[in-house]
Amino acid sequence: MGEKVFGEIERVLVVPFFLAVMEYFPTFYATKPYLREWASKSGLKLHHILAQSFLCWYSSRCTRRNFTPRKFQDKNHHVGNGVIANHEAQINAVQNDFAQLDTSTLGNPMLEENGIVFSQLDSSGPLKEEIEAEVEPMEESLDATGNPEEANIADVAESQMPEVQPTPRILSIEPPLTDEQRWAILRCLIPIDFPVRNRFLKLAMQSLLFTKEHIPAVVDLVLQMAERGQASFSTLFYCMKEQDWMNHVKKPTIIIQAILRGPLTGDMVEFFLKNRDEKFRAEAKKLILHAEDMTRDPILFETSVREWAHTTVDQVPTFEQFCSNLNDLMRDLRK
């Protein structure tokens, strides 16, 4: 599906096109409310599937090229059918093209009228069978594979390699995404509420070639967006349950932000708090008890949604669902 949607788009337009499509989804759902409720067998909505397809497509494009690392002295060396002439210059050229791009042509009407995405996303449209067929294998591949930088790369023939000491290859799409584009894509994905079992952030990090060294900056971005009401429950959940991520969460406020957006278990909360100091745990307990107070006062609930989740009540679970989630959590914690 990713190749069909994005494969024929001019490379310099791929990222702005993807971002424009994702931005347009609320309007698309408003005009076709029956598609808002549609989901695959694994619980993915159409915007989930399109985002996941983009990342899988981009990851596969990355692994088709083997670029000469910048450490090589001969920057004009030929590798396979591609001429690798100064990788930094290529990145700069893309940055210049992107800066000069007139994105006004990517407005929502164009996407609806001429784009192949929205014209085909219909319950009886030509992409429906492909969507059903592709979603499950994508999720299975995410479970089965490690780092896509290592999984699908064919070895370059010995005769094609420059006569220098072997060094790691730099992988990139042609033309490569800039850092600005990679972070823009990530900012677009953080508000999307995927099923928590999907581990979508893992796929995003791997596909966009973010490494463990980027995790502190990514967590910081998530927390900044959470303070603006722009981080989804599944994103907050992932930051709380992944060991490499949770260690960079320095304040317990993420707990109440997550509680207001979805269900947490007692085991999950204890896992997040287990290696914290007494001050951190005391502050977390105070927030959880405050959440329990909300179950007895709908007005306090609405006020807390604005204060802690930084959004409005129509953007979080209903008061009744919140009470059910919170009661389950407190029952777990008091066992």
pLDDT exceeds 50 at position 94: no
Question: Do residues 238 and 193 make contact, with C-beta atoms less than 8 angstroms apart?
Answer: no
- CA 193 – CA 91 distance, rounded (Å): 32
Query: Mean pLDDT over residues 60-77, rounded?
Result: 45
pLDDT at 50 over 60: yes
Instruction: Give the angle 309-240-151 at the CA atoms, nearest 5°.
Output: 125
Q: Confidence band (pLDDT; 50, 70, 90) for 175?
A: low
Better-predicted residue by pLDDT, 132 or 176: 176
**In terms of Cα–Cα distance, which of 274, 295, 273, 275 is closest to 284?**
273
Question: Which pLDDT score is estimated for 118?
Answer: 52
- Tell me what pLDDT residue 130 has: 53
Question: Is pLDDT of 150 > 80?
Answer: no
pLDDT at 90: 39
* Beta pairing class for 82-83 and 78-79: antiparallel
pLDDT value, residue 95? 41
SS (HEC) of the chain: CHHHHHCCCCHHHHHHHHHHHHHHHHHHHHHCHHHHCCCCCCCCCHHHHHHHHHHHHHHHHHCCCCECCCCCCCCCCEECCEECCCHHHHHHHHHHHHHHCCHHHHCHHHHHHCCHHHHHCCCCCCCHHHHHHHHHHHHHHHHHCCCHHHHCCCCCCHHHCCCCCCCCCECCCCCCCCHHHHHHHHHHHCCCCCCHHHCHHHHHHHHCCCCHHHHHHHHHHHHHHHCCCCCCHHHHHHHHHCHHHHCCCCCCHHHHHHHCCCCCCHHHHHHHHCCCCHHHHHHHHHHHHHHHHHCCCHHHHHHHHHHHHCCCHHHCCCHHHHHHHHHHHHHHHCC
Phi-psi region of 249 (alpha: psi -120 to 50; beta: other; left: phi over 0): beta
Distance between CA atoms of residues 103 and 207, nearest Å: 24
Query: Which of 53-62, 69-78, 164-173, 290-299 has the largest mean confidence?
Result: 290-299
pLDDT at 71 over 90: no
Residue 64 — pLDDT band, cuts 50, 70, 90?
very low
Buried (b) or exposed (e) across 18-48, using 16+ Cβ within 10 A?
Answer: bbbbbebbeebbeeeeebeebebeeebbbbb
Q: Which of 100-104, 190-194, 237-241, 281-285 has the lowest mean pLDDT?
A: 100-104
User: Does the structure show a pLDDT above 80 at 100?
Assistant: no
CB count within 10 Å of CB 101 equals 15
Bigger pLDDT: 70 vs 27: 27
The pLDDT value given to residue 121 = 52
Q: Rounded to whole angstroms, how far apart are CA atoms 61 and 67?
A: 13
Tens-place pLDDT, residues 191-245: 999 998 888 999 999 999 899 999 999 999 999 999 999 999 999 999 999 999 9
The domain spans of the chain are 1-182, 211-335
Please check whether residue 209 is in contact with residue 43, taking contact to mean a CB–CB distance below 8 angstroms.
Answer: no
